Structure formats: structure tokens, C-alpha cells
Structure 1
Amino acid sequence: MGSLTTTTFTLLLLTFLVLSSLPTTLTFFHEWGPDLEGPWCAQRPPGQDCCDGRDDYCAVPILGTECYCDIFCNDTSYDCCPDFWAHCHGVTRAPTTARPTTLPPPRTTPYQIVRECVLNGVYYRPGDRVVDNCNECKCELYVSGGQRRYGMQCTDNVCLIRDDLIAAVNSGPYTWRASNYSALWGMTLDDGLRYRLGTYPLESDVLQMTAIKVAQDEALPESFDSRDKWPDKLHPIRDQGNCASSWAFSTTAVASDRLTIESAGAIIEELSAQHMLSCDTDGQDGCTGGKVDRAWYFLRKFGVVTEACYPYDSGKTEKGGECSLPVRQRGGDCPSGIQYKREKRYKASPPYRIRPLEREIMKEILDNGPVQAIFEVKEDFYMYKSGVYQYSGLTSNDPPEARKSAYHSVRLLGWGVERTFEGDIVKYWIGANSWGPEWGENGYFRIARGVNTNDIENYVVGAWGKITGDVAQRQLLTESRRRRLEARGERPSTRRLRNLRRRRRRRHHIDGDKSNKKQLRTLEPRRRRGRNNRRGGRRQGKKEGRRNRNRNASKSSRRQRKHDKKSKDSKKESGARGIEGREREPQNTKMSKLEELIGAL
């Protein structure tokens, strides 16, 4: 047994000595199978695929471990990647000599590699990626000053929320304070313009709309808030999300508030912004933007349902969506699943413009409730937190891509004044935004009043709610309108109560320039009476209609003349008979009296 053990040991020793004496260039030591050919080093970023010297970070994961692409991988240890020789040295397989590798040609200026990447005090390995607000950074190798070093390479986007602007506003002599918002963090300034606003500039014909003249025969209070005068009648703050739908939100919000106020709280329904967003497609772009004049036209002409019937979801989908309630639909279910009722489509009267005068806007809000205002949003407004906003101008020296702005529409609820520590008085408007209750002062904001900050006083619009289906609610609105007109000192008439649109237009015209007699302009765009392919037929029909009317008119006029002639002749005859009768009447009377006397005798 002992001799067998000795023999086995001797065989193993001889085998080891034979194998150790074989050349080190045996193929199974240096060649890889086709399933491991790669690419390995070739998949690393350019400039980091074949590293000089020893670089422990110049590695690629392989089969649960790592293989290396630095020159040191074939110097003292055999841990090169399978494609190291082909990719880094241009040979198809490992050299036939033991260990040594053909090095790249020497450079005149030696490179020194600095491996660390630092961002905001944090170290990162080469190839690591990190998101910094709206920019993405990556630890990459680059050449600088004769050195090859790693550094964080970041994109150069202008972010919607900027820490430097927040710090500058909060430490400067401004009447408002700025803050960071998680819902807006990570968005670029272009994203803010694209998703958080959404009101297109008004066209020239709409800007020429004749404004009504508001009577200013009373002293206005120093401060006023519609939420205090009409408690539980104004609707809460909404969040439009990442959808440029302020044109729909502000329109339906003002209409909802006016309906509730005019009905004395009997109608508390919130009108659906999603219904208008999805179904008002005439010149509107859904979540890309829209015009308030076309929004008011849609509301007056077709009406919208309630939020309970057509809930808002474009803030999540970032799309306007298909219209689920066509204009002619009469039955069925709402998108929410409840029963659809055609009489629950709420409309509005034609909108009217208030002149861009501070006191007239205040008087309109005091008497009738919130109004719609359009203003220009500058790059620092997104960071508003509290106080009275005024454009800071901190980015006036920045490049144009950091000073972009666009238009937004909101509700104005009231006004007030704020006194500073220095004794200054700052007047402001109270606005309701549509960016959620977490933004600003619980969703509201204050903006400087009387100085047309960001053009917020240029175009202010009001309107009244209207119901066509529900008889009881319609009567309720009529009585409320009667009381409102009487409170103004106006004498309500049936025609004025029934046809508010005609009254509004007449009022626009009366308050305009009488000597000039200019044409009445309203907020609603002019509508074409037909498509291009129908114009010819309609014109021909109009011509034929005029001919028929003229022909009928001529026939009727001839008949009328004949009738008049006959009636005149008959009158003459009757007149003659009347005269003859009158002439005979005294004679008959005398004869009868004479006969009476003779009879008496």
C-alpha cells in the first residue's frame, strides 16, 4: 500500500515537471474561444478603451469578474480582455513570446491620468452618470493642459428652477420671495414654456374689441377678496400638470365662479376643463396651447359638462385626448361612468372686455366676481413663493436662451396693499394660478397693481353663466340677474333679461366713439359661413332668394295698390251715401213732425 502511494506521487511529480517544461505559448493559455471574442475593450468610450500604464478602472465586466484594457494587463498578470490585442494593438491573437506586449509609440509629452471625478463634493468613478437638476453629467476622460484627466462632462440646458436666482431674489431688495418646487425641479426653461403655460397671444382683431365702460360712482375699498364676499362660492385651485392648458382652465374657472355667484350658491358645479381641452379643436392645439377667444366661443356655442362627468387627466398623459362627448350626443354615459344629461351642458354669455384701467377692473371684480386676465410669464415667476411679485430683471445680462417668456391666463379675485418696513405701500392684485396648491401662496399669488406688471392689466375679460336645458335653474339665474340689475340702479326689462348678448353688444356700441360709428367688435372670432366648396352654391342661393323676394314684393305691391284703389272707391261711395242720407234726414224729420201736428189738429 505504501509502495502504491509512492508510485502515484512519483507519476504526479513527473507530469508536473513535463507540463512546466512546455512552452508558455500553448494555445489554450493565450487563445480564446469564438464565444468570448467580444467586443470588450471596444465597447468602452473613445479615449478610455486602451489606457496607458496601469489603470485599475480601465476594466470591463466579464463572466462574473473583470478583464482589463490597460497596458499593465499583460505585464505581470494575464487578465487582459479577449479583444485587447486586436483592438489596442491590431493583432489577431496574443504574441507568441511570453508576456511582453508591443506598446504604443511613445509620446513627446507624457500624459498623467487623474482618475477622480468630483461633483458637488461627491467622487464618481469613470463612466458614472448623474442627473443634476435638468442636466445630465458623466465622468469622462479628456485632455487638458498636457494631462489626461477624468472630469464631469455635463449638458448645458437652462433649468426652470435655478438655485442662483432663488438665492439672489431672497437676499435682494425685492417685494417677494422665491423657492424650489419638486414638481418643477428637473425641467428645463423650454419645458416650462411648453407644458406649464399654454395661452396664445391674442390676434389683432380680438385686441381691438371695444371695452365696456364701468361706472365709478363710489369709493372702492383699500382691499377686497372675492373669497370673503362670496364664501364657499369660488372653486378651488386646480393643477394643469404637464399640459399647456391654461386657456381652458382659466375660462372654465371664471365661468364656474360666475355661475355659482349668480345663482346664489344653488349651482356649485365645476365646469370641465378636460371637455373643452379635448373637444374644442377649432384652431386650438390641446396640450400645446390655445386661444381664450375661441375657448369662450366654444363655451357659448356648445357648452361644457361638469368635472364630475368629464374629469381631467391630460396633466398625466400630456395629451389633449380624443373627444368623448360630441356636440350632438344626447344620451349615454359620461367618461367618468355617470349618466350623461344633455341639459347639464353649461354655457356662458358672450364675454365682454374691461378697459385696462385699475379702478374699472376693481369695480368689475367687486360687483360681479373673478375675471380672466392674460399676462406674460418671465423666467423668475416659476420660483415665486410669497409676497408681491414684480419682475426682478436678474437675468437681463444672460444670453437669450435664458430669458425666454410666454403668455399665461389666470383668474383675478381681488386686490390689496402691503406696507413695507421702509414705509412704502405696494399695491397688488390677487391671482389664482393653475399649478396646484403647493405652488405660491397655497396656489394663489399676488402681483403688482396699477403698473401693468407683465401686461396683466392689458386684457381682462368677464362673462356670465347660461343654462339652456334646466328650466328651474334658468329661472333661478333670471331672478338673480334681475336683482343684480336692480342693485346697479338699472331698470330690468324682459328683453334685457332674456337676451343678454344683444344688451352687451348694444352697450359696447353706445360706450364706443359715437361720432366715428365704428363697427362693433367682440371677443369672439368671426366665423366663416361655409366651407370653400359651398360658397358658390350659397351665393347663388342668396341671389335667387333676392330675386324671389323682389318678385314677390312686386306682386304684393300690385295687389296692395288694387286693394287700396277698391277701398278708396268704396269709401267714396259710402261717403256719398252718407252725405245723401244726412241731407235727407232733416226733411224726413220735418215731414214726420208736420204729420204729427196735423194729426193733433
Structure 2
Amino acid sequence: MFQLAVTCLALSSCVYLAAANTIDTALHIDDEAAMRAQFEDFKVKYKKQYDNEEEERRFRIFVENLKDAKRMQGEDQGTAMYGMNKFSDMSDEEFEMFYLNPMMSENNSSWPEEYTWREGDERLENLSCPRKFDWRRKGAVTRVKNQGRCGSCWAFGVVANIESVWYIRRRRLVSLSEQQLLDCDSWDRGCKGGYPFNAFNSILKLGGLMCWRNYRYRASRGPCRLVKSRVSATIQTYRSIRPHEDEMRVWVAHRSPIVVSINAAALKGYRHGVIRPKFGRCRSNRLNHVVLVVGYGQCGRHRYWIIKNSWGVNWGEQGYFRLYRGENACGINQHPCTCVI
């Protein structure tokens, strides 16, 4: 059975409540009438409207996406469930352009040497860690935001990191402006993608970030409207973290949430659970999405990272997802980093 709707009751536990619309996709994927009914449910749930020609095109994309979700379901080695979600009428090309990171996808070799962890850099060694840890429970994580149809995950991941570290150091949780980075970062490409190290360097150059309410998100690039007298948070620098999951876990448990760049191949059809992709399905040499690790845990034999995304609360586990920890899944260990305040 391939469950298309299961609600997570505890984001960092193993408890789930099965909803009524559990379906057998082995029967329904090849049944056009049943798929038409599913598509009608999708349109109602996500408030979709199309003209006649566009509706037929979107229906065909919907069917292909559910077929791909079924393949993912068959391959996944964790507890993840795949199926219908807010992206089910979107082609792979549209998804990559609007919700991933085109600039990073085009060139995974652009990470500068100074951004890469080197022997001699600070390490957190010989520190014990709790079995599970979650910065949300400490009040150190802002609400899940929504980047919209704009490839600005790079800005959201970096800003989320600064929000959390600012709280840990100053005991003030402030929602900061991603739009400021879209408008004022001259190294990145706004909605066409960017890199965390460019974003951190831009914030240093600009003198900090304004708060969200004073520089609201528009999901498009415009003129820089920074007012330096209204900056709400500043950083001292940023740094790379040793690209090893044990070191990343120590950093999360003892310091702060961290920024990671991943391959998002498993996320388009994701609904909930621990993603543990089949080897080769989510290669580490194709990073295309920037997110924030806020904690970690374990569900039976499945160890996982708790990751804050920027696709709104109506995706995944109320805007979060969990990724298997211990196999460098989807390249999560390639370029972990954080600001320093």
C-alpha cells in the first residue's frame, strides 16, 4: 500500500495518524478515472484553476509526478512517504527553476577554498551529545517561511541561521529580511539562485540585516532599499564546519543550527517521514538546495536530521523534513556552515 496522506503528530518522533484516503497506487496510477478524481481533489485542496488546454497538460504532469512518487516510495529505505503534495502539477524543470537553486545547480565546483573546512580549523571533539536534540524546543527557531516561486533558498537558509544564532547569543528571536539579500547581494542572482558564502559576505559588507517587517519579502529582485540605521542583527563572520556528520551533530547540540546545501532529488514528492534514498538516487555532486539543520533524533533504527525548509507550512512536516543521518545522504555533509556572532 502506498499512503498518500498521513499526518505527523510529533515532528521529531515516530508517531503518525493515518488518514482515511489511503490508496493502492498499483491500482490507481494506471486507472485514468481514478487519477482524474485524485486530480480534482488536488485542485480543490491547493486552490488550482486552469483553462481547458492548461488543465490537460497539468493533469499529465500530475500523473507522471505520482508515478515518480511511487518509484521513490519503492526505493526509499527509511520511513518516508511520497505522493500528492503542493508540487504535484509542476514539471521537474519548473520545480528546479522556482524552488531550487539554478545558480548552484549549474556549477557545483564554485565553492571557494576559503569556504572549505581545512585541517587546523576549529573542531568540537570529545563532547558527548544527547540522543536527540531540537532547537525548536529551545525557542531558537523562527516560523517556517515561504520563498514562493523564486529560487531564493540560499537567502532563506542563511537568514534562518542568523536568526537562530542571534537568539542563542542575544536571547532575542527576530524575523530577519530575506528580501534584503535578494535586492542588495550583488554576487548572487536573486530568484535565480545563490551560494551561502556569498550571502554571508554580502551581510558583512552591508553591515547587517533589517527585520522582516521593515523589509518585506516580495519573491522578486528589486532595487536595494537597505536603511542602515534600521539594521536589527549583525554578524562577526561566518565559518565552515568539518564535513563529517558526527562533527555536525556535536555542533548542532552544543552551538547552534547550521546551514547545509543538499541535493533535493527526494523532496519534490515528499510528504513526511525519514528520507533514506537509495544509493545513487540523491548524489552529493549535484547540490541544488540550501536549508537549515535545527536538530536530530532517532526513530527505531533510523537516525535523522531535522531540517527547516522554506516552502511554507503546507509542505512536508509542517514545513520541515527529516533526512537519514550517518550516510551523508544527499550530500548534506559537503558544505555545512554557520555565522559567528
When normalised by structure 1's length, the TM-score is 0.44
Alpha-carbon distance, 1:374 to partner: 0.7
Q: Is the 8 A contact 2:98 2:150 kept in 1?
A: yes
**Structure with greater contact order relative to length (CA < 8 Å, sep ≥ 6):** 2
Alpha-carbon distance, 1:219 to partner: 2.3
Runs (5+) with no aligned partner, structure 2: 1-30, 37-51
- 1:67-86 equivalences under 5 Å are none
Partners of 2:74 and 2:319 in 1: how far apart?
24
Alpha-carbon distance, 1:165 to partner: 2.4
Number of the residue aligned with 1:375: 262
Give the counterpart of 1:223 among 132, 143, 155: 132
Deviations 1:560-599 (A, max 9, x none): xxxxxxxxxxxxxxxxxxxxxxxxxxxxxxxxxxxxxxxx
Partners of 2:261 and 2:73 in 1: how far apart?
27
Alpha-carbon distance, 1:169 to partner: 4.1
Partners of 1:120 and 1:407 in 2: how far apart?
34
Number of the residue aligned with 2:88: 185
Q: Is the 8 A contact 1:193 1:405 kept in 2?
A: no
Q: Is the 8 A contact 1:373 1:460 kept in 2?
A: yes
Number of the residue aligned with 2:141: 234
Alpha-carbon distance, 1:274 to partner: 0.4
- 1:158-177 equivalences under 5 Å are 162-170=65-73, 174-175=77-78, 176-177=80-81
Q: Which amino acid aligns with 1:364?
A: W
Is 2:274 aligned against 1:388? yes
Is 2:154 aligned against 1:273? no
Partners of 2:262 and 2:72 in 1: how far apart?
21
CA change 1:173–1:455 in 2 (3 A) is: closer
Number of the residue aligned with 2:235: 348
Number of the residue aligned with 2:9: none
Q: Which amino acid aligns with 1:213?
A: E
Is 2:152 aligned against 1:245? yes
Number of the residue aligned with 2:123: 214
Number of the residue aligned with 1:415: 296
Q: Is the 8 A contact 2:129 2:250 kept in 1?
A: yes
Q: Which amino acid aligns with 1:235?
A: T
Instruction: Report the aligned-residue RMSD.
Output: 2.8
Q: Which amino acid aligns with 2:295?
A: G
Is 2:335 aligned against 1:426? no
Partners of 1:349 and 1:160 in 2: how far apart?
49
Q: What SS class does the counterpart of residue 372 from structure 1 fall into?
A: strand
Q: Is the 8 A contact 2:76 2:276 kept in 1?
A: no
Alpha-carbon distance, 1:297 to partner: 0.5
Q: Is the 8 A contact 1:371 1:412 kept in 2?
A: yes
Deviations 1:134-168 (A, max 9, x none): 367xxxxxxxxxxxxxxxxxxxxx66971112334
Deviations 1:506-526 (A, max 9, x none): xxxxxxxxxxxxxxxxxxxxx
Number of the residue aligned with 1:153: none
Partners of 1:277 and 1:457 in 2: how far apart?
26
Q: Which amino acid aligns with 2:190?
A: G
Alpha-carbon distance, 1:221 to partner: 1.6
Partners of 2:240 and 2:324 in 1: how far apart?
21
Give the counterpart of 1:322 among 200, 217, 223: 223
Q: Is the 8 A contact 1:214 1:363 kept in 2?
A: no
Using the aligned pairs only, state the percent identity: 23
Give the counterpart of 2:246 among 341, 359, 366: 359
**Structure whose CA Rg is larger:** 1
Q: Is the 8 A contact 2:165 2:339 kept in 1?
A: yes
Q: What SS class does the counterpart of residue 365 from structure 1 fall into?
A: helix
Runs (5+) with no aligned partner, structure 1: 1-118, 123-127, 137-157, 331-341, 397-403, 420-424, 466-601
Partners of 2:128 and 2:254 in 1: how far apart?
13
Partners of 1:159 and 1:451 in 2: how far apart?
31
Partners of 1:160 and 1:348 in 2: how far apart?
46
Number of the residue aligned with 1:205: 113
Number of the residue aligned with 2:169: 262
When normalised by structure 2's length, the TM-score is 0.75
Partners of 2:312 and 2:64 in 1: how far apart?
17
Partners of 2:58 and 2:276 in 1: how far apart?
26
Partners of 1:161 and 1:258 in 2: how far apart?
41
Partners of 1:412 and 1:238 in 2: how far apart?
15
Q: Is the 8 A contact 1:433 1:443 kept in 2?
A: yes
Q: Is the 8 A contact 2:88 2:269 kept in 1?
A: no
Deviations 1:303-327 (A, max 9, x none): 220001001111xxxx2122222xx
CA change 1:173–1:288 in 2 (3 A) is: closer
Deviations 1:503-557 (A, max 9, x none): xxxxxxxxxxxxxxxxxxxxxxxxxxxxxxxxxxxxxxxxxxxxxxxxxxxxxxx
Number of the residue aligned with 1:196: 99
Partners of 2:123 and 2:312 in 1: how far apart?
33
Deviations 1:87-127 (A, max 9, x none): xxxxxxxxxxxxxxxxxxxxxxxxxxxxxxxx9359xxxxx
Between the two proteins, the alignment pairs up a number of residues equal to 284
